[in-house]
Structure 1
Amino acid sequence: MNEVEWYAVTPPCSHDELLAAVRVYARDLVAHHDLSVNVSDLEWSVSTRAKRRAGLLRYRDDTPLEVRLAWRLFQNQGWHAVASTVRHELAHAHLVTEHADPTHGHRFQRLSDRLDTTTHCERFTDPDWWVVCADCENRLPRYRESRLVRNPGQYACGRCGGPLTVHAPE
């Protein structure tokens, strides 16, 4: 059995049940990988609004304060995706504490490889709109009704300069 499985929870479960498993998993990761993060000092929360961001580390003055995880990620992709996001956010917390570095730079790349996590998350919810280039068919997902979504004719494709149109999800 994969060690990530030891901590796994599955839907349906509550936010509190998910966060309890996440905290235990995070403590063991920190100890196993010798990360300079105190899991107990972090606030752990679930976002029911997040559609594009799987996780978020809030920090102030090089001190990690909170890890927020996307509930939709758990619902749509399950425990393994959440566990990967926890590893990702703990890498940020460690690098913020040790190097005042919240970026996805070289240090993050090395640490994310060691923690077997990714630099960026895959899409886990469908966008509300697609902005599509009529010339090169470049497709941009949009989750909010931005100016671009409301007025695509005022913008051009960043790749080829072609005209843009907006489509509802297929």
Structure 2
Amino acid sequence: VAVSSLEWEISHRAKRRAGALFHSDGQPQRIQIARRHFENSGWLAVTSTIRHELIHAHLLNTERDVGHGKRFQQFAEALDTSVHCERFSEPSYWVRCEECDREIARYRESKLVKQADQFRCGDCGGRFSVVPVDENGSR
């Protein structure tokens, strides 16, 4: 698939992912960029995200690979982009391990948020608790 045939769109809902490549039957269809990413991180960060998503499109076309493996990392380094994006919006919830203080960001009231005491930390086996977040996203 040629880059010129890809559809491009802006997501007005995305809070966690800066961009995404959508594909069907192994063919890249469209690239979506988060509006909040642009608003909070600026144009340079968005251009990096565009390069990131174009690497996904290229590797899907040539190698049927949509992951962030070794080939992706090689392209990312060559094209001066990152493998993962920095957080660009504040989560609605933080879940913290009471033993090792590992923190997990959550943007929705997921099962982990609703029933934190029912889950255990994958690092140390400790119990989780939900950390209060104010309207500014501060803990």
TM-score of the superposed pair, with normalisation by structure 2: 0.92
Match of 1:62 in 2: 26
CA RMSD of aligned residues (A): 1.1
More helix by share: 1
Count of matched residue pairs: 134
Q: Distance in 1 between matches of 2:103 and 2:63?
A: 37
Match of 1:132 in 2: 96
1:47 alignment partner, one of 11, 15, 22 = 11
Matches within 5 A, 1:65-104: 65-104=29-68
Q: Distance in 1 between matches of 2:25 and 2:39?
A: 33
For residues 73-99 of structure 1, give each alpha carbon's deviation from its aligned partner in whole angstroms, at most 9, with x where no partner exists: 000000011000000000011111111
Q: Which amino acid aligns with 1:51?
A: K
Q: Which amino acid aligns with 1:42?
A: L
Cα deviation for residue 164 of structure 1 reads 1.0
Q: Does 1:143 align with 2:118?
A: no
Identity, % of aligned positions = 51
8 A contact 1:127–1:141 mirrored in 2: yes
Q: Which amino acid aligns with 1:82?
A: V
Gaps of 5+ in 1: 1-36
Cα deviation for residue 51 of structure 1 reads 0.9
